[in-house]
Chain A
Amino acid sequence: MTAAGLVQPPTDARTTVARAVEVTKVYGEGSTSVTALDRVDVAVAPGSFTAIMGPSGSGKSTLMHCLAGLDQPTSGQVFIDGELITGLPDRQLTEVRRDRIGFVFQSFNLLPMLSARDNITLPLELAGRRVDRAALAALVTSLGLADRLGHRPAQLSGGQQQRVAIARALITRPAVVFADEPTGALDSTTGTALLSYLRSAVRELGQTVVMVTHDPHAAAYADRVVLLADGRVRGEIDRPTADTVLSALASLAA
């Protein structure tokens, strides 16, 4: 099972929205250096729901950071929407994140001084784009946030905060949404509802979602699971279930 054999990097931009080619990330220098990612190739097809899994320290968060343009790989290339983002100056990279990428974090990461509505529309305002009232209304209604828009994050429950974060990620219609342990800070019922929503966004809106998780039940909502261990891609599961994910993880540990 080699990485190259399992995940063939597609060459056509239309068939991938996010793609890592030979991405290596090394932290530190000399004898204290740690290789977090070792020549990783990953491609994400448009309209797909991909889960990146692996044990702690497997490099899954680093991979996501590099794919999302939050961090620069030591070597290798990352393409978003067919465009090479590796080595872009900070300003352009900032604009790529602003316009083409949405983020959902484990700890919600809402700005405490802004209302829910302002948090959701923040990326649009950063881009200087007009807020499409109808689209916003549809989005917040589908997330059940319509009557919570005037509240500050501190006045919302964890589930509501995470739904605000999802709305913020979706409002710009990004090429790809990266979700980092989105259910990590939620109870299982709330978490399940959230995952269902993410899946429906993929099915009904054609939204591409890449989710990093260590929870096999969460991974089961994805179309495909990419397994990482020790900085390398160790396998891939199509149409995963919690059981197939669990057994794959067990074989990784072995």
Chain B
Amino acid sequence: MRSAWANLRAYPGRFVAVVIAIAIGVGFAAATLVFTASFRTDLVRSVGAAESLSDVEVRAGDTDLRADDPRLLGTPGVAATDPRYTAYVELRTAEVHGYTTIRSIPADPVQRWFELQSGTWPTGPDSVLTDAGTATRNGLTVGDTLTLSDANGVPRQLTLGGLVDVHVSKLAGAADQFFGDAPLVSALSGGYIDRIAVTVAGGASPDNVAVDLGRAFGPDAQVRTGAAAAEDRTSTVTGGTRTLTGVLLAFAAIAGLVAAFVIANTFTILVAQRQRQLGLLRCVGASRQQVRRSLIAEAAVVGVIGSTLGLVLGVGVGAAAMGVAGVAMGSLTVSPPSMAIVAIIGVAVTVLAAWVPAARAMRVTPLAALSAVPTAAEDRRASRVRVLIGGGFSLVGGAGLAAGVVLPSLLVAVGGGLLSASGLMLLLRSVLPWMLRWVGGAARLGGVPGRLAAANAVRHPGRSAATCTALVVAVGLIVTLQVAAASAQASLSQALSERFPLDVSVVTASDGAGALPAELIDRVDRIDGLRAVAVAGTAAAVGTLTQTFPLTVLGAAADSVAVLRAPAPQPGEIALPGWLVGSLDLKTGDPVTVSQGGTVVTLRLADNRVADNLDGAVVVTATDLALLDRAAQPRAIWGALDDIDEADTVIGDLKPLLVSDESLLLTGAAVEHAALTQGLDTVLLLVMALLAVAAVIAVVGIGNTLGLSVVERTRESALLRALGLRRGQLRLSIAVEAALLASVGAVVGIVLGVGYGAVGAAATFAEVGEKLVVAVPFGELAMVLMLALAAGMIASVLPARRAARATPTAALAEV
């Protein structure tokens, strides 16, 4: 133990990387827990606020509740009751027409879970309150008039009397809500009591009162304590936070795995460097166990330091994330038990990662103290066993992956993926040095610094392989997701293009005002990346002799057919949406009558799906439309995007032009594409950011390996300097070595990631029965490679400076 401390104190620099790696991993997990716990607290505070204030609540069960129910006050311990009304009402303001909720304001101010921000509490059934969010969304300010209509459509003119603060969590998603006094809400809800809040007498326990009330009401009502009700209500919303915690912790585990590589590698190097010192310890009488214990103690101390730093970092980052996500700082929740668990795991991972190196240290013979050059001979048998196991796992896992795609079964594919990934990680230990040697051939062209770098990179194959493997894991996961996401997007685009005949379709609803304004058509046409054409149409009754529907009939002309992906109907034909064909019980070729203002045209039902996604519009040829309405006006805009990947932007440009008219309906592949990719892009970005943490740890690992190797090579560096290697050349050599490690790690990670991403997408799509289009985002992959290289070079700066500090005379000093 004392020697462990002495080592730490003597060479603190050698443990910096380990401490950073642990701190990042632990910090990640701690930040996750702090953030999600605070998030949950915030939700509980806002969602369960109303319930948590009452002692006991009685909710309607089999029968409606009555405020004067004798069972209420007849139950011992009940001091007061307060009926709460909730009504679902139609809302009309100067700007908005919709539906909303209005709740009654508790008569007792103590029971109110919101405070007045501005205005006054309602004094009668002519004014209401709302929260700031609802006011903003509906364009209301205090003093405005609004109309609420009850279920029977009876309108009431009301004044917005003020605003309240309901402590709404920004993450809970806010719904519009109003508050009114009990008589008003009671009238709006038709006297229906949602729940009755019961206040218990002093000294009575809410739990007992709840039990007694429950017995009294039986199945007529649902009785719970306020606390239980709040918890119940919250759990419905917080189920999501549990998933979020799980997902984030999975990423923390990945970061931890990568950190474990860095830690294990560091201790392996330290043990190799300390061969003589360890041998000396054995010479002076230390037992094998003592040698191991001292190393484990060292790891534990480093683990404790790293974990402590990580906790501090994690709480800070978690709090910062709350700020970004808009969670109130008052909700900050740091749970000591979960923090302790994270810290313990951090220390445990450190100690476990140091276990194998420590076992190796144990095997150091006392004789090692006397050998001049510490050599860590590669155990050939171990390497053969590793290749066999790794190869076996990879083959079986690969077969599992293939089976998962063919069957199809996502579960089998995931199992196969995990097995093959662990097999590959074992194989990498043997494959990476070979690759480094191969890539190093290119570095040899860079003169002496390049040759030195190439030779140094493969000097300790195990060390280099472990360093690269950490990067392979991080980059591999990032690329897997990139490829899977790109493939999913490409496949969705493909599916959407097949489903929708148009990228963009804007149609006026059949009962709408009529023709589209020329100005709108012009402005839509000017949107970048969108080719738009106006399609003439008319409102007509479409159907059979017995049944007709009022629909918009569009006439496809040559220019509008050009933007269609599906074939247009032939002259004399009409394309109807599938639902209409079904409800009219028609078959292809059957006569369909179209009538408008006395003109009746009979057409044949086309075998054509063009009208399927046009929101109630049917399609005929322009010539047939002219038979029906000689002066048909533009009633639709059809558009094609130059690039479907730009859907987000184009739809973003298009939507504001359409908001002014409610009768305009926007559909098409581009709309769906924009909605899907927006969600996917956000999630992907978040996941990338989380995985980037693992990549950062891996890069810290590169810097660490180089730093430790450079310490070991001080004499060589000095010798090279004595022989005439310039400082800059020495630094360049270390940078090239870093670039070699980073590029091999990144390239292998990219190759494996592309494979796993494609197979993973294939398995997922096979499971849901969709067709897969594999897409490889070359641009992003190139960026990953460049970033990895740049990060590797940056990581080499400190080791390179250290190497260049070696003075030529040091080469001559005897050890």
**Residues of chain A at the chain B interface (Cβ within 8 Å):** 61, 65, 68-71, 90-91, 94-95, 97-99, 103, 105-107, 109, 111-114, 118, 122-123, 125-128, 154, 168, 180
Contacts and interface: CB of A to CB of B under 8 A. Distances in A.
A118 B729 CA distance: 17
12 contacts: A70-B807, A71-B807, A98-B723, A98-B724, A107-B372, A109-B715, A109-B719, A109-B812, A111-B455, A113-B455, A123-B724, A125-B451
Which of B451, B719, B724 is the most central at the interface, judged by chain A CB atoms within 10 Å of its CB?
B724
Nearest to B729: A126
A92 to B, nearest CB: 10
A95 B720 CA distance: 12
A70 B724 contact: no
Contacts of A123: 723-724
A17 to B, nearest CB: 18
A125 B642 CA distance: 57
Residue among A109, A114, A127, A154 having the largest count of chain B Cβ atoms under 10 Å: A109
Contacts of B448: 122, 125-126
Contacts of A68: 722
A140 B815 CA distance: 29
B808 A97 contact: yes
A70 B726 CA distance: 13
A154 B812 CA distance: 19
B459 A70 contact: no
Contacts of A65: 809, 812
Given A90-B727, A114-B455, A125-B447, A103 B722 contact: yes
Given A70-B809, A91-B726, A113-B456, 17 more contacts: A70-B807, A71-B808, A90-B727, A94-B725, A94-B727, A95-B724, A97-B723, A98-B724, A109-B715, A109-B812, A111-B719, A111-B720, A112-B373, A122-B723, A126-B729, A154-B373, A180-B812
B249 to A, nearest CB: 43
B812 A97 contact: no
Interface of B: 372-373, 375, 447-448, 451-452, 455-456, 458-459, 715-716, 719-727, 729, 807-809, 811-812, 814-815
The 4 closest A-B pairs by CB, nearest first: A98-B724, A113-B455, A70-B808, A126-B724
Given A97-B724, A122-B723, A154-B375, A70 B455 contact: no
Nearest to B716: A111
A106 B815 CA distance: 12
Contacts of A154: 373, 375
A168 B719 CA distance: 12
B814 A106 contact: yes
Nearest to A95: B724
A57 to B, nearest CB: 14
A113 B725 CA distance: 16
Chain A CB within 10 Å, residue with most, of B716, B722, B807, B815: B722
Contacts of B447: 125, 128
Contact of A97 (B451, B456, B722, B814): B722
Contacts of B715: 109
B724 A112 contact: no
Pick the most buried of A65, A94, A168: most chain B CB atoms within 10 A of its CB: A94
A180 B721 CA distance: 17
B353 to A, nearest CB: 27
A105 to B, nearest CB: 6
A123 B607 CA distance: 83
A212 B262 CA distance: 45
Contacts of B809: 65, 70-71
Contacts of A71: 807-809
Contacts of B451: 118, 125
Nearest to A118: B451
Contact of A99 (B459, B724, B726): B724
B375 A107 contact: no
B812 A105 contact: yes
B722 A70 contact: yes
Nearest to B726: A94
Contacts of B722: 68, 70, 97, 103
A124 to B, nearest CB: 10
Contacts of A118: 451
A99 B723 CA distance: 9
Contact of B724 (A94, A107, A111, A180): A94
A34 to B, nearest CB: 15
Contacts of A70: 722, 807-809, 811-812
A97 B812 CA distance: 14
A128 B719 CA distance: 18
A128 B449 CA distance: 12
A135 to B, nearest CB: 18
A126 B459 contact: no
Given A111-B716, A125-B447, A154-B375, A105 B724 contact: no
A98 B447 CA distance: 15
B656 to A, nearest CB: 64
A94 B451 CA distance: 19
Contacts of B814: 106-107
B327 to A, nearest CB: 55
A61 B720 CA distance: 19
Nearest to B728: A91
Contacts of A109: 715, 719, 811-812
Nearest to B715: A109
